[in-house]
Amino acid sequence: MPKLDLKIPPPVVMIIVGAAMWLISKTFPGIPVDAEIKRAAFGVMALIGVLFAATGIRSFKKAKTTINPTTPGSASSLVTSGVYKFTRNPMYVGLLCVLIGWGVFLANLFALAFIACFVFYMNRFQIGPEERALESLFGDAFTAYKIQVRRWL
């Protein structure tokens, strides 16, 4: 297992990427956008993100399985209902929505480019290892679920 696999909790990754977005926005010029529009866009995207994440967490709690992203091997059940019918990773979709909102708030194309870094990192070092653990735990049920439901949206 590579050194970064499942080591940095996804909310921390989001904060690191968000900080990098802010730093790059201070270095390179942004797009002039009305402050009210920026705040509203951020608020809407952040709300959507929080709702996605909260719905995913609630589904895990209801199924009495772990929400700890660093220990997917301790999952006690495969959750495929609710928001999990539309995305295999609603909590990560939620973090992504918050970052998109942050990027729009910063109104900087260079900052928005960091969103691709977040998706790459999450796919490689978080979601991939999680999926391998879930395949070993739930076998064909998880494989069938992967075929039916997209990783993101």
Closest by CA position to 92, among listed 49, 147, 41: 49
| pLDDT at position 6 | 84
pLDDT at residue 73 tops 70: yes
CB count in 10 Å sphere of residue 97? 21
Q: pTM here?
A: 0.94
Q: Which contacts qualify for 32-41: CB closer than 8 Å, 24 or more apart? A: 32/107, 33/107, 38/104, 38/105, 38/107, 39/105, 41/101, 41/104, 41/105
Q: Mean pLDDT across the stretch 31-52?
A: 97
